Structure 1
Amino acid sequence: MKKVLFVAAPQSHIMNFHLPFLKYFHDKNYEVFVATKLDREKYKKEMQRDTWVKWNDIDFSRSPFSSKSLKAYKQLKELMKEHQFDLIHVHTPMGGFLGRLAAKNTKQKVVLYTAHGFHFFQGASKVNWALYYNAEKLAAKWTDGLITMNEEDYSNALKLMKNRDNVFKVNGVGVDLSKSCAEQYNDVRAELGIGKDDFVISVVAEFIPRKNHIQIIDAIDLVKKRNPNYKIKVLMAGDGDLIPQIKDIISTKELKDDILLLGFRKDVISVLKASDALALTSKQEGLPKNVMEAMACKLPIITTDVRGNRDLVDNMKNGIVVPLYDVEATANAIEKLYNNDKLRKEFSKCSYEKVQNYSIDNVLIEMDKIYTKFLEV
């Protein structure tokens, strides 16, 4: 039986983005292997359900300087010595680099790498460019196909790969429109005691520095000071190390009644269905799935003008694009959507029309062409 291996540093990456692609190979009668840092407690139910996936616990760390990296590399190498894979598809910076290095040193057949957002990008520090660009340039020599998700990364990838025909751009990881558009969902407004007249903005993002929650918090603070009678609720869904710090900031600004921290939610679609808009003020993105899901739920978007975000949001067509760190512009965008029901409806319609190209069905067709190209060699 043919074998395929997916590699990503955190298991959340596999669970959030890659399950449809694992099933794609399972349906083609491949043995499906995954190498990742397992979180058995968090994903116990899903792992018990998909018993055909062969899970392998790898001691990954997000930091390229961690001492765990050598151990993770050795674990990957042992797995690849034990199995000759017909295709290895690697993801995330550490999973991508160590996975390709192990594949090179065990003489594996085909290695694909999907860049979900290079760590070198327009506006990134010189350190990022020096470290990550050179690491990707080296790893490109061990890569048969390099897959990107936005225009900026695609342009940079063409400079990395010797064979430009093996550089691809796909429409993200795909969003399940049938799920996003379903009528059945939890009534999050009732759960949280939010009124019908409240204007709800959802923020679905891990609490890490890159997601830049402070910009939306400061913008809400400004909006409330300028418009004390506005009925606005912000629902922040996600987990992460910065939650205690964010809680303190919200408390200091006296916004505890306005900004609600929901923690990790498996019913993100329900949160979006309860919302009037989505905000994402991140410093960088690949092609954010939460934005695509919000578009599928017919929401207008407020987002920062960075790679990935601007690929999905056309300013004043399906949302409002604001400069990174610009609190005033973000507050103005919130007020504009709050006060203009007609504009929100126009943005909603455009969001839903645009997201059709990013459906999981379309992305599976795109990936099928790529997989077929390399598996037929």
Structure 2
Amino acid sequence: MAACKPQIEKERDNYPCQGNGKVLFIASVYTHLAAFHIPFMKLLQEKGYEVYAAASSAEGHKEDVEAEGVTCWEVPFTRSPYGSANVLAYRQLRALLKEHRFDLIHVHTPVAAFLGRYLAKTTYQGPVLYTAHGFHFYKGAPRRNWLIYYNAERLAAPWTDGLIVMNGEDFDNARRLGFEAGKNLFYVHGVGVDLSKFSTPVAEKGSVRAALGIDPDDVVITCVAELNENKNHAFLLDAWRAFIRRYGHGHLLLVGSGEKMVVLQQRVEQERIPRVHFLGYRRNVPQILRETDIVTLVSKREGLPKSIMEAMAAGKPVVATNVRGNRDLVEHGKTGLLVELGDVDGLAAAIEKLVSNPEQRASMGAAGREKIQDYSLEKVLTEMAAIYDRYLE
């Protein structure tokens, strides 16, 4: 940073100095913004701000953000910190920030957040908020993650006016980075879940079970997650193969798309793993969950997973890996069951335990529905409105 300072001072006069009611969201991909942040964009629009977004559309869903009246710019970020495309992304974002001045910039996802925070400060933008959807450094993370991501966050801390976290472990790590609770560190209840979509059944066209040829009496286990390495579907398939040998009337629904889809489909076909259904990206997740008996998520790491929140809102028990984020939501033995990463037999046994005990499924589902009230979208919007107001004064 010291080497950049003379150039920054020299170019100070090249940047607009007055804001005109504009807020920018930055993330690596539009998929992330479409899945989690449209309600917050609408909140800011209702407050009278023009909302803009900068991300890569490589994974789609840019049109979903644009449909909400958000001006979207294409910036070719890659998720990997080693991606060469991030050099071009840096240049394009810098050009945008030299042309526009924002009253607030809200950044997400590690790579885009790092570059966005640095460029926001060197182009003299308004305050910068960063939502950490699960730091990539965490208890049990590879040493490489700590070397790269922890040190990156230490470097970026001075460029961060406000840090928003979603789980207890990240809150503790944020304080180690020098952030102070209530001053520039805020704990919110995730990205929120719209309880109205899950609490009252609505008239829907067709049955998911009927479309898939699933008998009404068969047990359905559903995993809603992007098909990538972190979501750990290979581990789930290992356990499913062990479980299905003992129980012949279960179906596993994998909802989501991603880079691992073809590999996972090939494995299911080659190993002849029965009753696994790849549903791809779906917009009718509430309906799928209503027709589900058990929800599972076996990620290697999480921030505060929306899929578990939605499962709890639908009154379903959850089987999840005992990792940060998951255990912030799932109370073992009360709202679901937690299993250790890599414990194939333990995961299969947890699924079997709930499959064979409908009464326990019902009681855990009811407990989850009660707990998730604190994570409602309405509550989170109130929390975020207070944070936005603080920085938009």
Give, as a single letter, the amino acid of the residue that structure 2 aligns with 1:125: P
Matches of residues 279-290 of structure 1 in structure 2 within 5 Å?
279-290=296-307
Answer yes or no: is the 8 Å Cα contact 2:220–2:250 preserved in 1.
yes
Q: What is the deviation of 1:163?
A: 4.3
**Residue among 176, 181, 196 paired with 2:216:** 196
1:23 counterpart residue number: 42
Answer yes or no: is the 8 Å Cα contact 1:141–1:161 preserved in 2.
no
Q: What is the deviation of 1:158?
A: 0.8
Q: Which stretch of structure 1 is more off in the superposition, 17-26 or 63-72?
A: 63-72
SS of the residue corresponding to residue 102 of structure 1 reads helix
Give, as a single letter, the amino acid of the residue that structure 2 aligns with 1:243: M
1:83 counterpart residue number: 100
Is the aligned partner of 1:181 residue 2:199? yes
TM-score, normalised by the number of residues in structure 1? 0.95
SS of the residue corresponding to residue 163 of structure 2 reads strand
Alpha-carbon distance in structure 2 between the residues aligned to 1:105 and 1:163: 24
2:364 counterpart residue number: 347
Q: What is the deviation of 1:251?
A: 2.1
Q: What is the deviation of 1:76?
A: 1.4
Is the aligned partner of 1:327 residue 2:344? yes
Alpha-carbon distance in structure 1 between the residues aligned to 2:235 and 2:59: 34
Give, as a single letter, the amino acid of the residue that structure 2 aligns with 1:371: Y
**Residue among 351, 359, 362 paired with 2:376:** 359
Matches of residues 310-325 of structure 1 in structure 2 within 5 Å?
310-325=327-342
Which structure 2 segments of 5+ residues have no match?
Answer: 1-19
SS of the residue corresponding to residue 37 of structure 2 reads helix
1:267 counterpart residue number: 284
Give, as a single letter, the amino acid of the residue that structure 2 aligns with 1:218: D
TM-score, normalised by the number of residues in structure 2? 0.91
Q: What is the deviation of 1:42?
A: 4.4
The percentage of aligned residue pairs carrying the same residue is 46
Give CA deviations for 1:152-171 in whole Å, capped at 9, x if unaligned. Answer: 01100111135452111110
Alpha-carbon distance in structure 2 between the residues aligned to 1:38 and 1:254: 35
SS of the residue corresponding to residue 303 of structure 1 reads strand
Matches of residues 17-166 of structure 1 in structure 2 within 5 Å?
17-38=36-57, 42-44=61-63, 46-47=64-65, 49-50=67-68, 52-164=69-181, 165-166=183-184
Q: What is the deviation of 1:47?
A: 4.7
Answer yes or no: is the 8 Å Cα contact 2:304–2:328 preserved in 1.
yes
Q: Which stretch of structure 1 is more off in the superposition, 266-275 or 147-156?
A: 266-275
Query: For this pair of structures, how many residues does the alignment match?
Result: 371
Q: What is the deviation of 1:39?
A: 5.4
Q: What is the deviation of 1:87?
A: 0.6
Alpha-carbon distance in structure 1 between the residues aligned to 2:318 and 2:245: 23
Q: What is the deviation of 1:48?
A: 5.6
Answer yes or no: is the 8 Å Cα contact 1:318–1:348 preserved in 2.
yes
Q: Which stretch of structure 1 is more off in the superposition, 14-23 or 172-181?
A: 172-181
1:225 counterpart residue number: 245
Superposed CA RMSD in Å reads 1.4
Give CA deviations for 1:19-59 in whole Å, capped at 9, x if unaligned. Answer: 00000010011011111112596453x35632x21111111
Answer yes or no: is the 8 Å Cα contact 1:206–1:238 preserved in 2.
yes
Which structure 1 segments of 5+ residues have no match?
Answer: none
Give, as a single letter, the amino acid of the residue that structure 1 aligns with 2:244: K
Alpha-carbon distance in structure 2 between the residues aligned to 1:34 and 1:182: 33
